Structure 1
């Protein structure tokens, strides 16, 4: 069946409420079985070397994967760099992205064992999965066979904003083939990691320009944040999930339900029937389905805008095109 006919069928089934997986040519769980059979174990070994020594890297690597996939698709274009500082990684939202050394180290080891075979895009997808699992999060199968993009533009790094409302967020995700459930599930990645006072100060000190705070926030949480973030402090770190920022679990939804979402985009999840229901369901069930849901949404994210077959290339070094 032609791809365009398959996609038309997918759209029809989606309208009818039927869940269906979209097939991707040349993307396979055993893609490297004969070409580089130890790909996954090599990546995991390298990732563990870094993450077990510095567990905060798990959140950073997960964020890196998300930022890559949301611009030009999961093609490792975020990893490219240039002296002109005009690549994706040079855009303001990506200046705080870190963990490149983990991906580079895994790629170097793969090049030593299987030169010119494994793409940086696949390495990044595997590193993100392994980093999450290494700190106690879920594990998921990663279909492989992505190719690396040759284009990276700073101007294209239009990522979902932490200041976005629910309508904008849903559109951001829909544009990538991801639905409301994926939005609320992947927002759960905020259960780990940190942000900074600069991104929260406007909400707690001068939300409407009158020296007030965002009324969608819990007043007690605002007081706590003010102790951490003084009016002129834009650099101090702030936990994304207050009380549970180092553990991958469903506690993030408890925080959101208590109006303790750090970003406007976190609080916005309560402003939609579907995402709000999911938040409340995870609180009531103590996150019974979160790990499974997160794994499924990560697989979907990893298929956004992929290059396969003869598209793109297999980079020798992740930071530079061949």
Structure 2
């Protein structure tokens, strides 16, 4: 266990997984000269929107994951479909992404202050960082200097589903350079927000095509979820607008606080999503979850580390990619 934690910490010394050996690395305060107020502008916009709607916070953290898991952290999840190309945001796993307009607001403010300087990819990373700080006092410095990708294809979106096994989830994370510590830690963000009924229907009524509920699910949790998600409420036509349930029914401070209560739910057998409950089935993940369940400070520190690692996956820097003037379309369009 100690070696895995040490390995995770050592990886932080390399701030970015570069697309090529010649590309310059990310760096702290990359915009100090070119746009000195960039990080302040991002924080102010996120604060303003969060004051109106606290669900902004989990949405922005989730957005970073969905961006970085496909083509790396290049802002490609923000691009609109155009000219016959179906973009990433139209893929099934991305249909429930929210608050993309927050990124639009940040970009507009930055284009006014420093035209053509700050990338959409960096905006996603900084907005997620500020959301984590506002939601749970998780604070970290984020190296910047990412460039924006120019390709976005729904066909390339292969995110691990909420019903995937732990082994398959770990394999997917390993493919982008994240380990069991990062997987267990980043799933902790599921203590916040809500999920659509479609993501739990199989556990409630037809687990693994058995025609019965998931027998490992806590009976009280199942009854509560069935009350919110009755049978046949989810269809292909309404899957992005179906009923929602809290991601963590045991969260003591409500659905918009980033804390370690998620791990207590997992260890009690009361995780809503199958992938979350799967943490308890793996020896290493269960050990990490047990440490986080009684160590809120350990969770916050590791969440910060893992978010930096996530934000460094296959980044574009230097002359690679571009800096989009509008986060929803590449500059050539």
Q: Shared fold by TM > 0.5?
A: yes
Deviations 1:5-27 (A, max 9, x none): xxxxxxxx99x968343254331
The equivalent of 2:14 in structure 1 is: 22
Task: Report the 3-state secondary structure (helix = DSSP H, G, I; strand = E; otherwise coil) of the residue aligned with 2:96.
Answer: coil
2:311 matched to 1:297?
no
Q: Retained in 1: the 8 A contact 2:164–2:275?
A: yes
Larger RCO (CA within 8 A; separation ≥ 6): 2
Q: Distance in 2 between matches of 1:162 and 1:197?
A: 12
Task: Report the 3-state secondary structure (helix = DSSP H, G, I; strand = E; otherwise coil) of the residue aligned with 1:127.
Answer: helix
Task: Report the 3-state secondary structure (helix = DSSP H, G, I; strand = E; otherwise coil) of the residue aligned with 2:195.
Answer: strand
Task: Report the 3-state secondary structure (helix = DSSP H, G, I; strand = E; otherwise coil) of the residue aligned with 1:33.
Answer: coil
2:267 matched to 1:257?
yes
Structure 1: give runs of 5+ residues left out of the alignment. Answer: 1-12
Deviates more, 1:48-57 or 1:19-28: 19-28
Q: Distance in 2 between matches of 1:43 and 1:233?
A: 38
Q: Retained in 1: the 8 A contact 2:132–2:139?
A: yes
Deviates more, 1:158-167 or 1:18-27: 18-27
Q: Retained in 2: the 8 A contact 1:103–1:124?
A: yes
- In structure 2, relative to structure 1, the CA distance for the partners of 1:17 and 1:319 (3 Å cut) is closer
Deviates more, 1:149-158 or 1:79-88: 79-88
The equivalent of 2:146 in structure 1 is: 146
1:254 Cα offset (Å): 0.7
Taking the TM superposition and a 5 Å limit, the aligned residue runs for 1:121-200 are: 121-200=121-200
The equivalent of 2:31 in structure 1 is: 32
Deviations 1:251-290 (A, max 9, x none): 011111111111111111112121111112222x242311
The equivalent of 1:58 in structure 2 is: 57
Deviations 1:48-100 (A, max 9, x none): 11111100111111111110000000000000002446000010110110111
RMSD in angstroms over aligned alpha carbons? 1.7
2:207 matched to 1:207?
yes
Q: Distance in 1 between matches of 2:215 and 2:298?
A: 30
The equivalent of 2:20 in structure 1 is: none
Task: Report the 3-state secondary structure (helix = DSSP H, G, I; strand = E; otherwise coil) of the residue aligned with 1:176.
Answer: coil
Q: Distance in 1 between matches of 2:257 and 2:91?
A: 29
Deviates more, 1:259-268 or 1:81-90: 81-90
The equivalent of 1:217 in structure 2 is: 217
TM-score, with structure 1 as normaliser: 0.91
Deviates more, 1:290-299 or 1:214-223: 214-223
Q: Distance in 2 between matches of 1:166 and 1:198?
A: 20
TM-score, with structure 2 as normaliser: 0.89
Task: Report the 3-state secondary structure (helix = DSSP H, G, I; strand = E; otherwise coil) of the residue aligned with 2:36.
Answer: coil
Q: Distance in 1 between matches of 2:226 and 2:220?
A: 10
1:136 Cα offset (Å): 3.2
Deviates more, 1:150-159 or 1:221-230: 221-230
Task: Report the 3-state secondary structure (helix = DSSP H, G, I; strand = E; otherwise coil) of the residue aligned with 1:147.
Answer: coil
Instruction: Tell me the number of residue pairs that the alignment of Structure 1 and Structure 2 aligns.
Output: 308
Task: Report the 3-state secondary structure (helix = DSSP H, G, I; strand = E; otherwise coil) of the residue aligned with 2:315.
Answer: coil
Q: Retained in 2: the 8 A contact 1:125–1:302?
A: yes
Structure 2: give runs of 5+ residues left out of the alignment. Answer: 17-23, 235-241
Q: Retained in 1: the 8 A contact 2:56–2:99?
A: yes
Task: Report the 3-state secondary structure (helix = DSSP H, G, I; strand = E; otherwise coil) of the residue aligned with 1:195.
Answer: strand
Q: Retained in 2: the 8 A contact 1:163–1:263?
A: yes
The equivalent of 2:245 in structure 1 is: 238
Runs of 4+ with deviation above 4 angstroms = none
- In structure 2, relative to structure 1, the CA distance for the partners of 1:145 and 1:178 (3 Å cut) is same
1:209 Cα offset (Å): 3.5
